[in-house]
């Protein structure tokens, strides 16, 4: 979740004049349809304005640019493609990001995946979870609660590849990190992105899906998110002959640690282990953080300790988060999520702690709502090559700005409630103040059954 800080330049970058082909990457895990994404992206090349001295005559421009090729960025590109709108996804890594291990998806997330056309194939990979089993070790107490709506745990690799599959060739540009963003003062209709390798790209519409440390969010003035002093180790454990845990989500609260265990399939289990950080400064080294979290392994119940030991190290199966990032609910209520034709989605917009299990599902909702809003402002085929991306007047700019404003308005109310509940539970878990804990419990009681309604939310048709 954490990453290098990317400063947004306050000065206008000089527009580079050469069109840059993206690097071609070969990945064993991707089928041919995904490998085609790693070819050179198509771009619009238009003449530069007259009077430029000592410069070439061409520059690169796109209709819709999405920064970040994670779950939200790919879901947004897929949703736009479903509406006949082209986009370019800029991903700073050289391949699809499949670390992150696994993700729990509730009913609301599955509804979004249905709109994106990949729910059926993902359901085939994931067991339906039917029961919560809550255990409090200190009190020697446990409860069994039925899962009333759909809940499945999906490997991040499966989800990311399903989202990327069948996108038009050239939609994703790998190895393209963004270092600075400025408004284009030349015509006022574009945003100029400066890449890590000193190239520039112009975008008529810019969507930031670049995670908690979002360069696009900082361009909007959102600032950096906060973080909880908590460390989380995520893992996948394989059972070739089948695991014995059934379709049950175990939530185990021990002394100074918490454990979760969810089945992915009959042969694969996802787990997480959470522990308070020993200091507010936290860890900067993932290996040291993981070692600290798993110091508690001897105190785990035997079957859980054995499950953790069986996990094979590797970026697809074991990861430790050294920061649990979140945006507080007041920032969700008052924050600026749009500036003209620039907006954010996913963690760049609403990163939250894992306490309500809705971060990924909310990002999928964002993609559907955003694509639906844009489709009402631009015609099919807009956003890709030719005149559709190369020209844009004041009227088009106003239509797009209004559409993005409607997207932000529709999402804000939903996200304020999600972030509020996550913030309250996170504060209750991490604070040592009895007064704060009582306040959190009181507000959560006032919210009542709202958390159950969170999982039953319907973002609507694409």
What pLDDT, in 10s, does the model give residues 351-380? 999 999 999 999 999 999 999 999 999 988
Interval 239-275: pLDDT, tens: 999 999 999 999 999 888 999 999 999 999 999 999 9
Give the rounded distance of the alpha carbon of 218 from its chain centre.
16
Mean pLDDT over the full length of the chain:
85
CA torsion sign for 348, 111, 408, 397 is: positive
In this predicted structure, what is the pLDDT of residue 397?
86
In percent, how much of the chain has pLDDT > 70?
A: 82
Q: How confident is the model at residue 59 (pLDDT cuts 50, 70, 90)?
A: low
Give the torsion sign (CA, 346, 347, 353, 354): positive
Q: Residue 448 contacts by C-beta under 8 Å, 6 or more apart in sequence?
A: none
Residues 158-165: what's their mean pLDDT? Answer: 96
3-state SS assignment for residue 387: helix
19 secondary structure, DSSP code:
P
Most confident of 131-140, 271-280, 400-409: 400-409
Whether the predicted pLDDT of 282 surpasses 70: no
- pLDDT at position 322 over 80: yes
Element (H, E) at 290: helix 286-293
Q: What is the pLDDT of residue 317?
A: 86
> Looking at residue 448, what is its pLDDT?
75
User: For the chain, what's the residue count?
Assistant: 462
Residue 12 has pLDDT above 70, yes or no: no
More confident residue, 124 or 10: 124
pLDDT of residue 281: 64
Given a contact cutoff of 8 angstroms between Cβ atoms, the answer to whether 426 and 353 are in contact is yes
Quickly state the pLDDT bin for 18 (edges 50, 70, 90). very low
pLDDT at site 454: 84
Which DSSP letter does residue 297 get? Answer: G
pTM for this prediction: 0.86
Distances (CA, A) of 288 to 23, 111, 291, 316: 34, 39, 5, 19
């Amino acid at each position: 979740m954490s990453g290098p800080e990317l400063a947004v330049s306050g000065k206008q970058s000089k527009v580079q004049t050469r069109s840059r082909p993206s690097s071609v990457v070969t990945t064993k895990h991707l089928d041919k349809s995904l490998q085609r994404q790693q070819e050179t992206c198509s771009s619009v090349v238009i003449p530069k304005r007259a009077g430029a001295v000592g410069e070439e005559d061409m520059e690169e421009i796109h209709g819709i640019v999405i920064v970040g090729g994670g779950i939200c960025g790919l879901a947004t590109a897929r949703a736009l493609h479903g509406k006949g709108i082209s986009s370019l996804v800029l991903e700073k890594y050289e391949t699809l990001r499949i670390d992150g291990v696994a993700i729990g998806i509730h009913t609301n997330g599955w509804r979004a995946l249905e709109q994106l056309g990949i729910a059926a194939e993902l359901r085939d990979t994931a067991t339906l979870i039917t029961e919560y089993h809550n255990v409090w070790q200190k009190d020697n107490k446990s409860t069994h609660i039925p899962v009333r709506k759909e809940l499945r745990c999906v490997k991040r690799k499966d989800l990311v590849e399903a989202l990327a599959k069948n996108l038009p060739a050239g939609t994703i540009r790998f190895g393209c990190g963004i270092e600075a963003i400025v408004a284009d003062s030349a015509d006022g209709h574009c945003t100029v992105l400066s890449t890590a390798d000193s190239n520039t790209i112009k975008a008529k519409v810019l969507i930031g899906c670049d995670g908690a440390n979002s360069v696009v969010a900082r361009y909007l003035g959102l600032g950096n998110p906060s973080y909880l002093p908590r460390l989380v180790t995520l893992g996948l454990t394989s059972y070739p002959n089948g695991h014995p845990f059934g379709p049950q989500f175990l939530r185990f609260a021990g002394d100074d640690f918490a454990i979760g265990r969810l089945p992915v399939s009959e042969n694969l289990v996802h787990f997480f282990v959470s522990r308070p950080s020993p200091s507010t400064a936290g860890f900067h080294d993932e290996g040291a953080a993981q070692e600290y979290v798993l110091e508690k392994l001897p105190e785990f119940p035997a079957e859980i300790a054995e499950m953790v030991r069986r996990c094979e190290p590797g970026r697809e199966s074991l990861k430790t988060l050294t920061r649990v990032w979140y945006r507080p609910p007041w920032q969700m209520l008052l924050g600026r999520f749009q500036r003209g034709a620039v907006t954010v989605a996913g963690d760049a917009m609403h990163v939250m702690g894992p306490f309500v299990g809705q971060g990924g599902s909310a990002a999928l909702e964002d993609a559907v709502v955003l694509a639906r809003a844009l489709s009402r402002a631009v015609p099919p085929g807009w956003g890709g090559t030719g005149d559709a991306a190369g020209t844009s007047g004041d009227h088009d700019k106003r239509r797009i700005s209004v559409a993005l404003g409607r997207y932000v308005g529709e999402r804000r109310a939903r996200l304020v409630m999600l972030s509020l509940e996550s913030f309250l539970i996170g504060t209750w878990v991490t604070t040592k103040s009895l007064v704060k804990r009582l306040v959190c419990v009181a507000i959560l009681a006032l919210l009542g059954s709202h958390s159950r309604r969170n999982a039953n939310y319907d973002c609507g048709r694409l």
